[in-house]
Structure 1
Amino acid sequence: MLAALALLLVPAAGPPAADAGVVVYGATPGGLAAAVAAARRNPDRPVTVVTPYGWIGGMATNGLTHPDFHAFEALTGFFLDFTRRTERYYAEQYGPDSQQVKDSLRGTHAGPGVALEVLRAMLAEHSNIVVLTRRRVVSVQTEPTENGGRRIVSATFEPVADTATGPYEPAVGPAETLSGAYFVDGTYEGDLAAAAGVPFRVGREGRDEYGESLAPGEPDDRVQAYNFRLTATRTGEGASAVKITPGEQPADGANAAPVEAPPGYDRNDYLPLLETLNGGRVKRVFCDPKGGIGGGFYKAQSPVLPNGKRDLNDVDGTPIRLSLPTVNDDWPTADPARRGEIYADHVRHNVGMLYFLQNDPAVPAEFAEDARAWGWCKDEYPTNGHLPEQLYVREARRIEGAAVFTQNDFEPERPGDARARFQPDSIAVGDYGPSSHGTGRTGTRYDGEHTGQLGGGAAPYQVPLGTVLTNDVANLAVPVACSASHVGFCALRLEPIWAALGEAAGETIALAEELNEGNDGPGAALTAIPAAAVRERLHAAGSATIYVADVPPSDPLFPAVQWWGSAGGLTPLDRDPSRPPTKYGTRGPRIAGQYHEAYPAHSFSPDAPLTPFVRQAWTELAAKFAPHAAGLDEATTRGEFVRRLWGSRDAPVRN
C-alpha cells in the first residue's frame, strides 16, 4: 500500500501533467467518487485529483467518522464500497468476530487513519488517477462555447506549505496550470466553480422564494455553523459519566495523547465559561445523548468507533457549543488569510476550551475530572498534533445550477404518501433529512442559544442531476457545493449523499467523453447528457437512484427495480389503497445511535402479488418505457412483471 501511495502523491514541486484529463479539485468523498467513476470508464485517460490539504478524504479522514445517514439501505455505490472495504480491513487486522468489526457497524465507523488507508487503496486500483496535494486554486481559464456559454480550458494552482495552516498562508512556490477536458469541483466551498465565474448563493433564502416553511421569513447572509470533529479516547484518568462500552475496555489510556494549548491560547478568553459551569446550566463536559447521558457540550458520540475511539461533535440544547455561528459567515467567499483567522478561532475554541477545562485551577473539580478523562488518540493525525487539519465546513457557497433542490424535494408530493416527491431526473438518494447546527446565536459564546437550527425526519429522497450541473460552464460538475436552497442543502450536506452525487458526476463526464469520441472539438456539454443514461451506468455499478428497502445492489434484480422505480414504477405501490397507512418519515426500529432498520412502506416485495390498482398503473407506465414488453398479463407477482419489462425496455437516449 505504501508503494501505491508513493505513486499517487506527487510532490508540490513536481511538474504538472501537460494534459490532466479530468481535473477534480477537492479530495472529499464527493470528489473522490467522481474521480473513481470517471477513471474506471476510461483507463487510458488521466484523472487528476488536486487538494490544498495534506491528505485525501475530506471530513471522512478528518474526524467525521460517525457518518450521517439513518438506514443502511440508503448506502450504495462508492460509499457502500468504502464501508465494505473498511469492514474487511478490521476483519483482516483483528479477526472476523472481533470487537473492532462489531464496532465498525458494518464498516460505516472507522478511525480516520483507517478511512484514509481504505480511500488511498481505492484510488490506487486505478493507475490513471494522480493525486496532487498541497495545491490551492488561483484562477480558472475559460473560453466561449457555440451556444453562448463557456467551458473551462485550464485551472491554475499554487503550492502551499505542508502544515495544517498551509492552505491559508502565502504560496511557497510558482503556480502550475493544468488543462483538462472536464472539471469537477469537489470542494466544500465551491472554490473552483467560483473562480470559473459560476453564479452562486451564500446564506438563506426567505420563506416565499421557494415556498419553504423551514426557511426564515426574510433572506439573509447567514451560514450554518462550523466546528472541528475531534477524535478522542479515554485517558484512564478522571471520571466521565459517558458509559464505557465493550470496545473501550480496558480504558487504560494506552492510546491517549495529551491535549495541548493551541497557538494563541489565553486563559482570560475562557474565564466567562466559569460562570456557566458554576451556575448549574451544564451538568458535565462530555455527554452522549444517544447513549442516555446528556447535559454536556462535547458530544462523545455513540456507537463507539473501533479501538475505543469517539467522534466528538457539537451538541444541541446546551448554553455552551462547539460550533460558532456568525464567526464563520465570511468563510465561503473569504481569501486564504481571512479563512486562516476563522480557522484559528475555531481551534482556540474547540481545543483551547478543553485544555482550559483540564488544566486551569479555577475550573470546578467535577468538571476538571470529567475533562481529564479524555484525550486525543496517539495513532491519529501523528503529523498534526493528533488533530484533524480540516474544519468541518457544513455549508458555504451553493452554485446556481440547472436544478435547485429545496424543502419541497424531501417532502411528500401529496398527503398520505410514504415516499418523498418523485424525481424523474434522479441520480442519487439521501435519507438524513434537514440538519442545521444553527446560523445565529443569542447571548454570549459561553452562555447563549443558537438560532436557525433545523432538524426532523424525512423519508428517503431523490436528487436530480441538475443539482450538480450548471448552465453557465459546459464541462464542469459540482457535486458538493451543489445547487440547492439553504434548507434543501441542509438535507444534502452529508458525506454519503455527496459521494453519490460525485459518482453521478463522474459517470456523466464519462458519457460526455464517449459522445465526443472521434471528434477534435471540445467535448459534449454535461447538461446534454440525459439522466436516464447516467442512471443506467449507476445501476450497473450498484448505485441507487431511488430508495428500495429490500432489493440491495447484490440482488440480481437491483438494476431492474432501480430502473423501474426511477421511471415512476414505485409510486403506485405507495398509493395503492391496500397499503397500510404509514406516517411520512417513519423509520424502522433503532439499531444503535442514529441508525435504524429499513424504512417501512419502502419495500419492493418481488414475490408480492399484483393488486388490480398496481397492475393497471404499471401497465399504463409500461406503454411509455417498455412498449414492446410481452406477456405482462401473465405476470402474477411484482418481480415477474418487472423482469418481463426489463428484458424489453427501451434503451436510454444518450444524446
Structure 2
Amino acid sequence: MSQQFDLVVYGSTSGAVATAIQAARLNRSVALISPQEHIGGIQINGLGATDIDNQVEFQNSTTVGGLSLEFHQRVSKVYNRTESLNEIVSKRIKDPEIWRFESRIAENVISDWLTEYPSINIIKSPLAESGDAVQRSGSQIQAVRLENGDLVSGKIFVEASYEGDLLASAGITWTRGREASSVYNESLAGVRHETLYRQIDVQVDPYNKPGNPSSGLLYGISDEPFGKPGDGDLHLQSYSYRLPVTDDPDNRVPFTKPDGYDPSHYELHRRYFAAGGEFYMPRKRLPGEKTDLIGSEGALSTDLLGMNDEWPVASRKRRKEILNETARFTKGLLWFISTDPAVPVRNPTNLDATRISINSTQRKNTAKSGLALGTVETSFLTTATFHTSFTFVMLDAWSQTISSQKLLHLVMAAQSLLKTPLLWHIGQLIPIASAESCEMERCTMKASFSRMDTNGVLLVLLIAHLCQRETRLSTLSRSHVLVHRMLATVLFAWSINSMPWARPVLTRPMLQLHRDSHCKMFHTMS
C-alpha cells in the first residue's frame, strides 16, 4: 500500500511524538512510523524518575516548556496534582517529585494525546531491511518501504529513532562509539583513566580459577586492552531494561528463576561481594509506591556491559538476540540477588514478593514486540548498596548510600575545606523531597555552624538519614548497622542536648527506630 503525507516521522521516541503533534497543530498530514509496538520511547519503558530538579547544585525545571511541559501537565492531571505543578512552575519552586511518573501512565497520556489529532496516522512497522528501503531522488528522500510492505511517501522526513536506522539507510554519513579527544578537541572525550566514579573499587580476581590466567576470564570481563587516555573506540554507553519495582504487598509478584539461568554468569558478583563491594540500591520513589532499577547506578548493576556495542549496525535478528540476552541476564540477576547465599544483604520475604511491574500488568504484549532498551544508560558505574526491600535508607545528604570508606573520605574532604572559617546552613545540604519535610526545612534553616567540625559533618549526614520517609535499619548490612549505631549513639544525644531546634526533626524518626529489633542500642537514649 502506498501513502502520501506532508511529514513522515520515523521513530517511537518522545521526540517523534512531539514532532508529530506539532506538525498536526500546523495542519499538516503526518505519518508516525513506529518500529516498536509501544510509542513513547524510554519514558513509557521505565524512565519515570526524570532528571528534572534532582541535582543539588542547580535547578533545571525552569527550562521545561512547550510540549514537554504540556506532557507533564497531562500527567499531573491523571495524578490530580495539576494545581501543585502550576504553583511550582509559576513560582519556580524546586521539587523533583512533581516531575516523576509511572511509565504506564505516560503511555496512556501519549496514546490519548495522539488520538486527538486525526491527521496523525500511526504505522507500526520498522523499515524494510532490503536495499530499497529508502527511495531517493538525488539527495532528497521520496519514500520509505516498511517491513509490512507499505510504501510511505512524504515531502519531509524526520529521523527520530534511537538507532538512526532511517539516517543510515538513506546513505547519510554517521559514526558510532566514542570519539578520541583529539577529534573535536574535547579534554574529557575518549578513554579516561583518572576517574573512579562508578567503577569497581575493590580487588576482584578476574579468572575462572583464581590466580590462574589459563583458566579464562569470568563472564562479563573482557580481555580487550584498556587503551590510552583520550583514545576513541567502538564502545557505547550500556543499554539496560529500566524496571519499575515495588514493595507494595498488594502489587507484588515474586522473582522467578529464568530459563537458561547460569550461576557462573554471576561469579563476578560473588567475588565482588566477598571483597566488600556494595551493590546498587534504588534511590528515587515513583508514584504508585514504586521505584526503578537503573543500570548506571552501580559498579555491578543491570547493565550488561558491552552487549550492545554492535546494536547500531546489527540486523533485526541480531538485535532481537541482544534483547533476549540482556533480558536473560537481567532476570537472572534478580534471581541471583534474591536467592544466592553470596549476596550479603537480602530480605527474602520482601524480595521474593517484589513486583516487576514492567513484566506484569503494564505490558500485555511484550512477547510480540520486545521492550525498548534504555539507550541513555552509562557504562561508567558507581558503588552503592542494594537493599532488597527497596526501602530508602540513606547515609548522606545527597540521597545516596555510601560505604564507611567513602564516609571517611567525605569527612577528610570536609576537614580540609574547613581550615578557614565558614558558615554552613544545614538546610542547604538536606534535600527537601516531600511535603512531610517542610517543617524540617524551617527548623534546619535556623541552625548554622561558624566553622563546622567533623562532628558537624557527621550530624548533617545523620539528620539527612533519619529524615528520610522510609528509614528501616533492618535493610542494612551488618557493617552499615554498626556505622549507624556508632553515629547515632554519639550524635543523637549530643544534638538533642546542644541544639534544641533539632528535637522536632529527630524525635519522630528516632521513635520509629526504637521499635526496630535491630536498634536495641537506641533504647538507652530514650
TM-score interval w.r.t. the shorter chain?
Answer: 0.5 to 0.7
Shift of 1:440: 10
For 1:142 and 1:588, the matched residues in 2 are separated by: 57
Secondary structure at 1:117's aligned position in 2? helix
> Percentage identity across aligned positions?
29
**Which of 374, 378, 395 matches 1:437?**
378
Are residue 279 (structure 1) and residue 220 (structure 2) matched?
Answer: no
Are residue 143 (structure 1) and residue 136 (structure 2) matched?
Answer: yes
Change (3 A) 1:41 1:591: farther
Shift of 1:258: 2.5
Secondary structure at 1:21's aligned position in 2? strand
Partner amino acid, structure 2, of 1:322: T
**Which of 13, 24, 28 matches 2:13?**
28
| Aligned position for 2:290 | 309
Secondary structure at 1:391's aligned position in 2? coil
Check whether the contact 2:293–2:302 (CA below 8 A) recurs between aligned residues: no
Write out per-residue CA displacement over residues 273-310 of structure 1, whole angstroms, 9 at most, x where no aligned residue. Answer: 3233333222xxxxxxxxxxxxx32x4231x1111011
- State TM-score, norm by structure 2: 0.57
Check whether the contact 1:230–1:388 (CA below 8 A) recurs between aligned residues: no
Paired residues for 1:101-116 under 5 Å: 107-116=98-107
Shift of 1:588: 12
| Aligned position for 2:323 | 343
Partner amino acid, structure 1, of 2:339: N
Moved more, 21-30 or 77-86: 21-30
Are residue 69 (structure 1) and residue 36 (structure 2) matched?
Answer: no
**Which of 169, 181, 203 matches 1:195?**
169
Paired residues for 1:81-100 under 5 Å: 81-91=70-80
Partner amino acid, structure 2, of 1:41: L
Check whether the contact 1:52–1:135 (CA below 8 A) recurs between aligned residues: yes
Which fold has the larger relative contact order, with Cα–Cα distance below 8 Å and residues 6 or more apart in sequence?
1
| Aligned position for 2:226 | none
Secondary structure at 2:51's aligned position in 1? coil
| Aligned position for 2:250 | 254
**Unmatched tracts of structure 1, length 5 or more:** 1-15, 160-174, 235-250, 283-295, 395-435, 442-586, 594-655
For 1:315 and 1:440, the matched residues in 2 are separated by: 6
Change (3 A) 1:126 1:311: same
Check whether the contact 1:301–1:313 (CA below 8 A) recurs between aligned residues: no
| Aligned position for 1:384 | 366
Are residue 267 (structure 1) and residue 251 (structure 2) matched?
Answer: no
Moved more, 184-193 or 259-268: 259-268
| Aligned position for 2:108 | 117
Are residue 229 (structure 1) and residue 242 (structure 2) matched?
Answer: yes
Paired residues for 1:393-404 under 5 Å: 393-394=375-376
Change (3 A) 1:371 1:319: farther
Check whether the contact 1:19–1:179 (CA below 8 A) recurs between aligned residues: yes
CA RMSD of aligned residues (A): 3.4
Shift of 1:17: 5.2
Shift of 1:439: 6.7
Secondary structure at 2:108's aligned position in 1? helix
For 1:260 and 1:388, the matched residues in 2 are separated by: 19
Change (3 A) 1:231 1:209: same
For 1:41 and 1:268, the matched residues in 2 are separated by: 57
Shift of 1:31: 0.7
Check whether the contact 2:44–2:107 (CA below 8 A) recurs between aligned residues: yes
| Aligned position for 1:37 | 22
Secondary structure at 2:80's aligned position in 1? helix
For 1:361 and 1:439, the matched residues in 2 are separated by: 27
Write out per-residue CA displacement over residues 335-389 of structure 1, whole angstroms, 9 at most, x where no aligned residue. Answer: 112212221221122221102222346655736567436321354224438x971
| Aligned position for 1:352 | 332
Write out per-residue CA displacement over residues 125-154 of structure 1, whole angstroms, 9 at most, x where no aligned residue. Answer: 211001122434434434344xxxx00011
Secondary structure at 2:292's aligned position in 1? strand
Check whether the contact 2:299–2:381 (CA below 8 A) recurs between aligned residues: no
Partner amino acid, structure 2, of 1:54: E
Secondary structure at 2:288's aligned position in 1? coil
Partner amino acid, structure 2, of 1:157: L
For 2:296 and 2:339, the matched residues in 1 are separated by: 23
Change (3 A) 1:327 1:130: same
**Unmatched tracts of structure 2, length 5 or more:** 54-59, 89-94, 191-229, 383-427, 435-526
For 1:439 and 1:366, the matched residues in 2 are separated by: 25
